[in-house]
Amino acid sequence: MTSVPDTPAVGERALGPHDTRLVTHIPRDVSVRLRLLAAVTGRPMSHVVAELLARELPTSAELARQMQQMGARDEHAGR
C-alpha cells in the first residue's frame, strides 16, 4: 500500500477547494450538551463543535486509504 500524505490537498482533490458552512439539524439533547460544554469551557460553541468533529472524524489520509481499499475491493468484485 502506498502512503498518502495527511494534507488538506487530499480532501480538496476529492471535494474541491470549497469553504462552505455545514447546515444540519442537531437534536435538542445534543444541542443542550454542546451549549453547556461551551459555557463550562468558556469557548464559542463553534469552536467546541469544530474541535469535537476534528477529534472524531478520520483524517484525510485515513479517508484516502479507505477510498483506496474500497476501490481495490470493487476491482476484485468485478472478476
Residue range 53-61: mean pLDDT, rounded = 92
Domain assignment of residue 52, given as a range: 27-77
Res 46 pLDDT > 50 = yes
pLDDT 10s digits, 3-45: 555 555 555 555 566 667 777 889 999 999 999 999 999 999 9
For residue 79, name the pLDDT band (cuts at 50, 70, 90).
low
> Is 3 part of any domain?
no
Provide the pLDDT for residue 21: 73
What sign does the dihedral 16-56-66-7 (CA atoms) show? positive
Task: Give CA–CA dist 32/65, Å, rounded.
Answer: 35
Instruction: Please check whether residue 36 lies inside any domain of the structure.
Output: yes
Task: Answer yes or no: is 64 within a domain.
Answer: yes
Residue 16 placed within a domain: no
Q: DSSP letters along 4-68, please?
A: ---SHHHHHHHH-S----------HHHHHHHHHHHHHHTS-HHHHHHHHHHHHSPPHHHHHHHHH
With H, G, I as helix, E, B as strand and everything else as coil, classify residue 74. helix
Tell me which DSSP letter residue 78 carries: T
10 domain residue, yes or no: no
Q: Is residue 4 part of a domain?
A: no
Q: What is the pLDDT of residue 8?
A: 54
| Domain assignment present for 8 | no
1 located within any domain: no
Our count of domains for the chain comes to 1
